[in-house]
Amino acid sequence: MYFSFIRNRRQRKKTYIFKLAIIAVAFMLLRTVLTVIFNINIVENGMNIVADAKDKVIYSVLKVAVKDVYGLGDYRENSTNTGLSAIIDEGINKSSNLYAYVDEKNKKIDLAFYDLSYTYANISDTISVSTKDTNTEEGETVKENVAEGNENDGKPEYVAPASTENGIRYSMEQLSDFSFLMNKLYIVPSRAKVLEEELNAEEMLGIDMKLKQDNSKPQILIYHTHSQEGFVDSVKGKPETYIVGVGEYLCKLLTEEYGYNVIHCKEQFDIKNGKLDRSKAYTYAETTLNQILEDYPSIEVVLDIHRDGLPEGADKLVTDINGKQTAKIMFFNGVSRSSTGGDIDYLFNRFKKENLAFSFQLKLKAMENYPDFTRKNYIDAYQYNQHLRGKSVLVEVGAQNNTLQEELNAMEVLAEVLHKVIN
């Protein structure tokens, strides 16, 4: 009887332990499920982009999402897992705002929310590329030595060291050096990867950017993926004081001063249910853009006009042009390729070569005439709806600490530069 009691007691104890283990496992599973739901909800509902008055739009994400959902544990123990990047790209990077960066050097995973409009180019989040020593790395200062109207037998114009009297021009030898390009003309964040063959200067300069369509039909489309981007003196409730007003002035200049047929789309892709929501702005914009381009197939140039967002306390992006305080601009491209997962197939862009050539020619033309007007061209990992037309580019005009007038002044210069390239 006594031994039977002890045996039954031990069995009951094992049963309790087993039940407790099941409960513990259930709680762990519930925690994982709730974590997954929470993070998915953040991404899908745009909670990641809760822009405050200072437009700070980078937020940390709990690494438990990666650890729990994908079972990766400590990355230091999984550094040889060749499928790691693919897992992260497949599971996370399809969100328009949530990115994972695998830091191979320090053996860690960094997860962060990025607003695709903001480059934070002054932060050391760029690829460092050594350059070859050269005596002409800032460009030669001799005057233009090619006669006006001379097309150089069909070859790219940049065949010899030359510059305008007040501007900068690089030699073809310099522009053919990938390290030189990356050091002098481009910024590439660590999450993106650009191939040397994609920045072949001779090929990019050889692509004809002149418009084929006359102004009897629409030629240029201007729009704003982020219509709510404002400036230090923007007035709430008055879209003409925001980036949309800047685009409207560019439209007026191109139409009245240069004679182009321009459509300005003022739709608010970043406002949903009366609230700021940038999580799917590019997706919403693509739907509208496709309809406009279907209605007006004559459109050849597509300009997505933004203003950048800089860290608090950063210097203002401004220069003096013809006595006017003018916001600096930056041409922005996507290559649909991440540094960790390689080519992003679902963001395929058949116009990638033309896109890169367009911004390259715009950058060089601006430097010829207004050397301090443009920042380095920015190349990021994604697509930014530039797959719709060859002559597509995202333009960052100043930042949140510029004035509206500085932005408008920049449009006068941009219109001139654009005209020189496409006319």
Over residues 313-332, the pLDDT tens digits come to 889 999 999 999 999 999 99
* Residue 142 included in any domain: no
Q: What is the pLDDT of residue 17?
A: 73
State the Cα–Cα distance between residues 56 and 42, nearest whole angstrom: 17
> Which of 63, 89, 113 lies at the terminal end of a domain, its last residue?
113
Tokens of 302: 């597509």
Please tell me whether residues 198 and 91 are part of one structural domain. Answer: no
Please tell me whether residues 156 and 268 are part of one structural domain. Answer: yes
> Where do we find the tokens 């203002």?
316
* Residue 38 included in any domain: yes
Please tell me whether residues 83 and 220 are part of one structural domain. Answer: no
* Residue 311 included in any domain: yes
Mean pLDDT of 21-30: 76
> Domain total for the chain?
2
Positive or negative, the CA dihedral 338, 189, 288, 219 is negative
Please tell me whether residues 290 and 361 are part of one structural domain. Answer: yes
Q: What is the pLDDT of residue 33?
A: 62
Please tell me whether residues 287 and 404 are part of one structural domain. Answer: yes
Which domain range does residue 104 map to?
12-113
* CATH number assigned to the domain comprising residue 309: 3.40.630.40
pTM of the model: 0.68
Share of the chain above pLDDT 70, in %: 65
Please tell me whether residues 298 and 373 are part of one structural domain. Answer: yes
Mean pLDDT of 273-287: 89
> Which of 83, 113, 143 lies at the terminal end of a domain, its last residue?
113
Mean pLDDT of 14-25: 74
Please tell me whether residues 64 and 195 are part of one structural domain. Answer: no
> Which of 93, 113, 133 lies at the terminal end of a domain, its last residue?
113
Please tell me whether residues 266 and 382 are part of one structural domain. Answer: yes
> Where do we find the tokens 């007038």?
405
* Residue 298 included in any domain: yes
